[in-house]
């Protein structure tokens, strides 16, 4: 049976497949590997990482997790706009009566932390589902999370966005590229890559998705093997202690020649939430 993500990520996978079809000979994703090529992460060290959940839609085995998110204020969580698309949710976000974030819990099979209902959703009006540009949404929580969960967002032109900067990506997504979803939080060590690396991998004229440096950030492992993958979308890319990106898209997972593409939070997030 296709798991919840098969359904959850149709839209995103559609984009990925379109690209992969053109980038012929794409190698299978690294087998050893959030996140591929990652390792277990403690929620106490990354309290700003949350899971987006709806058991009604995605089933209870993994607490209904279908995307990641990041706490940027006690009642505000950033995620990817494509996570709230009709293809993922099967309708509008407010129609999912149990739509929540799970905070302070690393294991989706565990009980720790808290589940908080989503009171309101805002999808970036400039999000373009065809190009995937501006892939950001803001969730307003029904109750506040502790201030200690909040991570600072990079400012426009922050040095943390410079190529070569060490970064960490977090999520409960596919660890293999073959649909094996993590039940505990993982993180992978990557680096911010030059825009040229993603412009080369995802040039114009592929029909739909292509890399746009104004709204996207390129990151990965120059040797391949470490990357975000399906199910990690909306989750954080952190460098120098600040949030620089949200997992957005890529072709396959962990391939050296196809880096991960992230929402560039510093330019896409409005000044005032
Ligand atoms: N679109 C995927 C999702 O919805 C994220 C893919 C990220 N891929 C990558 N190779 N970095 O979960």
Q: Is residue 195 annotated as a catalytic residue, yes or no? A: no
Among 33, 53, 135, 251, the one annotated catalytic: 135
Residue 80 in contact with residue 216, Cβ under 8 Å? no
Question: Does the annotation count 174 as an active-site position?
Answer: no
Whether residue 264 has pLDDT greater than 70: yes
**Does the structure show a pLDDT above 50 at 110?**
yes
Domain span at 262: 159-268
Query: Which pLDDT does position 206 carry in this prediction?
Result: 65
CATH code where residue 239 lies:
2.40.10.10
Shared domain for 190 and 130, answered yes or no, is no
pLDDT at 38: 93
Report the pocket of ligand 1 as residue ranges, CB < 6 Å. Answer: 9, 12, 173, 227-233, 247, 249-250, 253, 260
Give CA–CA dist 196/217, Å, rounded: 11
Domain membership flag for residue 259: yes
Which phi and psi (to 5°) does residue 221 adopt? -115, 120
pLDDT at 14: 30
**Atom of ligand 1 lying closest to residue 174 CA:** 12
Distance 234 CA to ligand 1 centre (A): 9
Residues 139 and 163 both lie in one domain: no
Q: What is the pLDDT of residue 2?
A: 33
Residues 209 and 140 in one domain: no
- Asked whether residue 135 carries a pLDDT value surpassing 70, the answer given is yes
**Cα distance from N-terminal residue to C-terminal residue, the chain:** 40
CA distance 221 to 257: 9
For 226-248, the pLDDT digits (tens) are: 999 999 999 999 999 999 999 99
> Which atom of ligand 1 is least distant from the CA of 80?
4
Listing DSSP states for 30-60 in one string gives PS----BT-EE--TTT-TTEEEEE-HHHH-T
Domain boundary among 130, 149, 168: 149
Q: 3-state DSSP call for residue 161? A: helix
User: What's the pLDDT at 263?
Assistant: 98
7 — pLDDT class (breaks 50, 70, 90) = very low
Q: How far is the CA of 204 from the centre of ligand 1 (A)?
A: 19
CA 56 to chain centre: 21
Give domain status of residue 154, yes or no. no
Going from the Cα of 16 to the center of ligand 1, the distance in angstroms, rounded, reads: 8
Per-residue pLDDT reduced to its tens digit, 60-95 = 999 999 999 999 999 999 999 999 999 999 999 999
Domain boundary among 149, 177, 195: 149
For residue 205, the model assigns a pLDDT of: 74
Query: What is the mean predicted confidence (pLDDT) over 130-142?
Result: 96
Note every long-range contact of 125-128, with CB atoms under 8 Å and residues 24 or more positions apart, other chains counting: 126/268, 127/81, 127/82
So what's the pLDDT on residue 204? 86
The per-residue pLDDT for range 11-43, each reduced to its tens digit, is 333 333 223 322 222 333 333 346 889 999 999
Question: If you take atom 4 of ligand 1, which residue's CA is the nearest one?
Answer: 233
70 in Cβ contact with 246 (< 8 Å): yes
> How many domains in the chain?
2
Give the nearest ligand 1 atom to 231 CA: 12
More confident residue, 253 or 208: 253
Task: Decide if 189 is catalytic.
Answer: no
- The secondary structure element, H or E, covering residue 243 is strand 242-249
- pTM, rounded to two decimals: 0.89
Per-residue confidence (pLDDT) for residue 272, from 0 to 100: 72
């Amino acid at each position: 049976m296709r798991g919840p993500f098969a359904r959850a990520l149709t839209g995103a996978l559609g984009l990925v497949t379109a690209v992969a079809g053109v980038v012929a000979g794409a190698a299978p994703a690294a087998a050893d590997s959030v996140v591929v090529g990652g390792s277990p992460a403690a929620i106490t060290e990354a309290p700003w990482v949350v899971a987006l959940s709806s058991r009604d839609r995605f089933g209870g085995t993994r607490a209904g997790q279908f995307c990641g998110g990041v706490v940027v204020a006690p009642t505000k969580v950033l995620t990817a706009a494509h996570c709230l698309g009709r293809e993922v949710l099967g309708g509008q976000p407010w129609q999912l009566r149990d739509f929540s974030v799970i905070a302070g819990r690393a294991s989706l099979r565990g009980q720790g932390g808290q589940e908080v209902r989503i009171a309101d959703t805002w999808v970036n009006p400039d999000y373009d589902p065809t190009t995937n540009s501006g892939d950001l949404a803001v969730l307003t929580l029904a109750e506040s999370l502790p201030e200690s969960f909040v991570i600072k967002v990079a400012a426009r032109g922050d040095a943390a966005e410079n190529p070569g900067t060490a970064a960490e990506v977090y999520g409960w997504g596919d660890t293999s590229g073959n649909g094996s979803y993590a039940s505990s939080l993982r993180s992978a060590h990557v680096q911010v890559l030059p825009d040229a690396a993603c412009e080369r991998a995802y040039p114009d004229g592929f029909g739909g998705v292509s890399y746009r440096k104004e709204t996207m950030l390129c990151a990965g492992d120059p040797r391949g093997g470490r990357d975000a993958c399906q199910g990690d979308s909306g989750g954080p890319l952190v460098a120098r202690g600040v949030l620089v990106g949200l997992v957005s898209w890529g072709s396959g997972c962990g391939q050296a020649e196809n880096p991960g593409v992230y929402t560039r939070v510093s330019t896409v997030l409005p000044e005032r939430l």
